Amino acid sequence: MVAGISLAAFLPNRGGDADIDELPTAPATEEPVAGEPTEDPDVIVRNFEFADFVIKPDFELYTATISTSKGDIVIELFADIAPNTVNSFVFLAENQYFDGITFHRVVPDFVVQGGDPTGTGTGGPGYQTGDEPNEIRNEAGTIAMAKGRGQPFFGSQFFINLKDNPGLDFDTTAEDRFYPFGRVIEGMEDVVFAIVQGDVIESVTITRTPRPDAPTPEADGEGEGEDAGDGESEESEDEAGEN
């Protein structure tokens, strides 16, 4: 989202192709289409020019713990599939952007939506991130970004699917498609389903775990040792010191 542009979030229908009047989008308009937004005057609205690249998808796995007034939601983030989307989410989380924000729109048996610091459905971070098309279904528990009607980019508003929503999928015949970038792995039944409009996101904590299949720089290190002409005993000592 570009600074100075108001973006309202909309919700899709409950099944089949999405109704354009109810999409979980954030288009350039000041008039929300669905629901009564919940504004929190105590939340500080901050804008950024862009999201610094703060993740290393080749080397790390990421989870996000969304601590809410109803409990914690743990989300596995698909950094290898949607690196730019995950990076923006992680960047905002680590800058405490989501702290104190409400879930401003909840549609039972459909989606819960948050990520707007104004609580009105029109707010965003001041920059845009482009869609990263994938073939992950909008199944119950997946998380995706809200975006503008017909727009291939999004800001900070996200939604969690409460049920399978094929009308949002990559192969829907509707114009707008939504690409999941994560999945709830803890807290779906007892927290997500309990969320109501106005419930607060207290914080979002990112956990980084080394990938077990991450590439290593060992080959480069061995090559440097051979070029230097060091003896085998010195190389062994160096390697032992690194372990």
Give which of 93, 180, 109 is closest to 139, Cα–Cα.
Answer: 180
- What backbone phi and psi angles, to 5 degrees, belong to 220? -65, -40
Contact 140, 163 (CB under 8 A): yes
Reported as a pLDDT band with limits 50, 70 and 90, residue 149 is confident
What is the spatial distance between Cα 226 and Cα 240, in angstroms, rounded to a whole number? 17
For residue 71, the surrounding DSSP H or E stretch is strand 71-77
Evaluate if residue 39 carries a pLDDT over 90: no
HEC assignment per residue over 172-240: CCCCCCCCCCEEEEECCCCCHHHCCCCCEEEEEEEEEEECCCCCCCHHHHHHHHHHHCCCHHHHHHHHH
If you search the block for the tokens 């010195």, which residue do you land on? 234
The predicted pLDDT at position 172 comes to 93
pLDDT in tens, 179-218: 999 999 999 999 999 999 999 999 999 999 999 998 876 6
Joined tokens for residue 98: 């989501």
Topology of domain 20-212, CATH: Cyclophilin (2.40.100)
Which of 122, 134, 154 minimizes the C-alpha distance to 80? 134
pLDDT of residue 24: 67
Of 28-42, 63-77, 112-126, 181-195, the least confident: 28-42
Torsion sign (Cα): 38, 178, 185, 61: negative
- pLDDT interval class at 41 (50, 70, 90): low
45 versus 18: the higher-pLDDT residue is 45
Any idea where the domains of the chain sit in the sequence?
Answer: 20-212, 216-243
Is pLDDT larger for residue 122 or for residue 178?
178
Cα gap 147→8, rounded to integer Å: 9
